[in-house]
Amino acid sequence: MTADSVRPSAATMITVAPTGAELDKAAIPALPVTLDELVTTAKECREAGAAIVHVHIRDENAQPTLDLVRLKDTVHALRGATDLIVQLSTGGAVTDPFERRLAVLDAAPDGCSLTCGTVNFGDEVFMNPWPFMCELYARTQGLGVVPEFELFDMGHIAALHRLLDKHGAPFGGHVHCDLVMGVPGGMPGDAATLVQAVAALPDGATWSATGVGRTALPVMFAALAAGGQLRVGMEDTITFSRGRPVRSNAELVERAAALADLAQRPAMTPEQARAMLGIPDRA
Ligand code: KMH
Ligand code: ZN
């Protein structure tokens, strides 16, 4: 199978989201927070079957940051060590101001997340008002960064249609979405909701899904059955099975790749994922 010929439903693109912005390193020592830890994790996850790394970074105190120098160093280091598609989070932490979230693109990643609406996020609110979405989208188009549309709720799908109608196709020409399910305040992480959400996506869009917390497995099985791609990682899941903490991001990728094999949709390479998503090869 060549990169050009891979069909989304014939293979499985696995994204790993290794860190997130919410978890506390002191409570979860396996969480990768330094650049060295992140690069080691990325290499292990590539080996296990990941094609994309969704990146949040931390500062010297292991706190979430959007420091641009660190972001640039991170993109550079991940590219030097792996051929993974490097997707930076523009969601950051719920406390990050919009200007810093927009500036993430100046680190020149392959891709970025773009959340299509505000959502209750546990006890917090993850703010993504319409003008911010539009500005971020215009910046992705101008800077040549391929967005992944993060959808936490059914209303976000309507906002995605509105965004595409008003502002045209994304850089690369292909629409790829990620259903983030099971966040307290967002859509539930179950098969019925996943099917409903997928039916509402724009024609021709590809999609992945991730279930937060205990919805990880139901969402993964439903996504595989419905022809979708997978996102796994400690950003979303820190319990591997009942009472057993996740030991590493790589074991989550290994499990996803094993299930993808069982579904006869083996893990895509980063090259195949680039072709599917319209992400240019690195210069
Ligand atoms: N940390 C959440 C508030 C994204 O990466 O774009 C937002 C988030 C989504 O994780
Ligand atoms: Zn994220």
* Predicted confidence (pLDDT) per residue in 107-117, tens digit: 999 999 999 99
Ligand 2 (ion): which residues have CB within 5 A? 89
Atom number in ligand 1 closest to CA 54: 5
- Is the beta carbon of 94 within 6 A of some atom in ligand 1? yes
Question: Residue 32 — very low, low, confident or very high, per pLDDT cuts 50/70/90?
Answer: very high
Number of the ligand closest to the Cα of 94: 1
Sign of CA dihedral 128, 98, 108, 170: positive
The Cα–Cα gap between 79 and 200 comes to 35
Which structure tokens are listed for 111? 């891709």
pLDDT averaged over the chain? 96
Residue 87 near ligand 1, beta carbon < 6 Å: no
Over residues 228-266, the pLDDT tens digits come to 999 999 999 999 999 999 999 999 999 999 999 999 999
Residue 6 has a pLDDT of 66
